[in-house]
Structure 1
Amino acid sequence: MAQLAVTIAGRVYRLACDEGEEARLGDLAQLVDAKIEGMRQRFGEIGDQRLSIMAAITLADEWAEANNRARELEAELSRLKSGPAGGVPGRDEWADRIAVSLGEAALRIERVAQDLNAAGRE
């Protein structure tokens, strides 16, 4: 396991992650830090714990919206694949590329959720 020190809301946290995931974890920590800082600028000094909870809920909401949108796009893709081609050249190739992109997006969303869950336990 690799170890990484990240700074969130002015505090340094040592986190463990899989080898090669350090940059990604660092990026996620910066995202959390930016959310907390944005909340601090918007609401002022209302307490670190409260700011952290508000940032976590905001990130969870953004994740849920992205996840819902991915599901909607997958349903639309399925509908397009099952419908008539309608004379659209390259439709199947286009649909396959979208399916791959959606699958990759879903995996990234899953990883973000796992990382957020893991960060919340530490």
Structure 2
Amino acid sequence: MAQVTIEVNGRPYQVGCEDGQEGHLVELARLFDRQVRAVSQDMGQLTDTRLFLMGALLLADELWDSRSRMSSIQAELARLQSDQARIESKAVAALDGAAKRIEKLAAD
């Protein structure tokens, strides 16, 4: 297990992670640090626990919004795929009908 030192709100923290995940963890810590610093600027002096809680809640809210948008997009994609399948089926039927008419005209 790897150990990484991250910094949140100007303080270093030693955190363990799976080998190879160090860079990802550092990026996550930077994201969290930006959120915590924004909360600190907006709300003034709070304890680290309070800052971290508010930062985590704001990030959780963003995650909730993203999941909600993704769910809507997935529903729209499913609807579009269904529409596409229906249109393709109609196109196949139209081409089949046209081919039969052409064959009939050629036979006459």
Fold agreement, TM-score > 0.5: yes
Partner SS for 1:83: helix
Code of the aligned partner of 2:38:
G
Structure 1 segments unaligned to the other structure (5+ residues):
88-122
Counterpart in the other structure of 1:50 = 50
Counterpart in the other structure of 1:8 = 8
Structure-to-structure mapping, 1:1-122, within 5 angstroms: 1-84=1-84
Code of the aligned partner of 2:59:
L
Q: CA RMSD in A?
A: 1.5
So what's the TM-score if we normalise by structure 2? 0.74
Partner SS for 2:30: helix
Partner SS for 2:81: helix
Structure 2 segments unaligned to the other structure (5+ residues):
89-108
Residue 47 of structure 1: how far off its partner (Å): 2.1
CA distance in structure 2 between the partners assigned to 1:66 and 1:84 by the alignment: 26
Q: Higher relative contact order at CA 8 Å, sep ≥6: structure 1 or structure 2?
A: 1
Deviations 1:27-83 (A, max 9, x none): 000111111101111111122221111111000000111011111111110110011
Which of the two has higher C-alpha Rg? 2
Code of the aligned partner of 1:49:
T
CA distance in structure 2 between the partners assigned to 1:22 and 1:14 by the alignment: 12
Identity of aligned residues (%): 38
